[in-house]
Amino acid sequence: MQKKRAFGLMTAAGCALFAASATGAVSDSFENQANGDAVTTITGWEGYGTVTAATYAGAGDSTVGRPIVQSSANPANILTVEGRVTRTAATTANNAATVDMMVQIALPDDDLAFPSGTTTTDIQIAVGVDKVSGSDTIGALKAWCKPRAGGDPAWIDLGVTYAKDTWHRVSFTFDYVNQLCQIRVDGEPVITANGILAAGSTVNGAWYKLATANKTALASVQIIGSTSIDDLLVSEAATVAAALPVLQDASGTTAGVPNTWIEEQGITRAQVTDGQVLDDSGMTVANKYAAGFDVADGKKFGVKTMTLADVNNTPTATITFDAANVKSGYTYVLSTSTDKSTWSDATTLTAEQAAAGTVSVPLDAPVKYLKLKVVR
Span 47-85, pLDDT tens digits? 999 999 998 887 666 555 554 444 455 678 999 998 889
Q: Are 18 and 55 in contact (CB under 8 A)?
A: no
Calpha distance 128→188 (Å, rounded) = 17
Beta partners for 268? none
Show the 3-state SS of 63-96: CCCCCCCCCCCCCCEEEEEEEEEEEECCCCCCCE
Taking only the tens place, the pLDDT of each residue in 140-163 is 999 999 998 889 999 999 888 999
Calpha distance 300→289 (Å, rounded) = 11
Is the CA virtual torsion 72, 75, 79, 80 positive or negative? positive
Q: Which helix (H) or strand (E) holds 291?
A: helix 285-291
The yes/no answer on whether domain 17-244 falls in CATH 2.60.120 is yes
Give, as one character, the DSSP assignment of residue 169. Answer: E
* Predicted TM-score of the model (pTM): 0.74
Calpha distance 288→271 (Å, rounded) = 12
Which region holds residue 71: left if phi is over 0, alpha if psi is between -120 and 50, else beta?
alpha
Taking only the tens place, the pLDDT of each residue in 87-105 is 999 999 999 999 988 899 8
Query: Which fold would CATH assign to domain 303-375?
Result: Immunoglobulin-like (2.60.40)
**Mean per-residue pLDDT, 200-215:** 75
HSE of 353 in the Cβ direction (CA atoms, 13 Å)?
Answer: 16
Domain range list for the chain:
17-244, 249-299, 303-375
Closest-CA residue to 180 (of 149, 220, 207): 207
pLDDT for position 234:
92
Which region holds residue 150: left if phi is over 0, alpha if psi is between -120 and 50, else beta?
left
With b meaning 16 or more CB within 10 Å and e meaning fewer, what string describes 237-253?
beebeebbbebbeeeee
Q: Are 228 and 104 in contact (CB under 8 A)?
A: yes
Q: How confident is the model at residue 205 (pLDDT cuts 50, 70, 90)?
A: low
**Which is more confidently placed, 108 or 90?**
90
- Strand 17-18 to strand 167-175: parallel, antiparallel, or no bridges (unpaired)? unpaired
Q: Give every CB contact of residue 158 below 8 A, 6+ residues apart in sequence.
A: 127, 140, 141, 142, 143, 183, 190, 192
Q: Give every CB contact of residue 135 below 8 A, 6+ residues apart in sequence.
A: none
Taking only the tens place, the pLDDT of each residue in 294-327 is 887 788 877 788 888 888 888 888 888 888 887 7
Collapsed DSSP state (helix, strand, coil) of residue 353: helix
Burial (CB < 10 A; 0-12, 13-18, 19+), residue 270, is exposed
**Which is more confidently placed, 132 or 368?**
132
Q: Are 211 and 183 in contact (CB under 8 A)?
A: no
Calpha distance 337→342 (Å, rounded) = 6
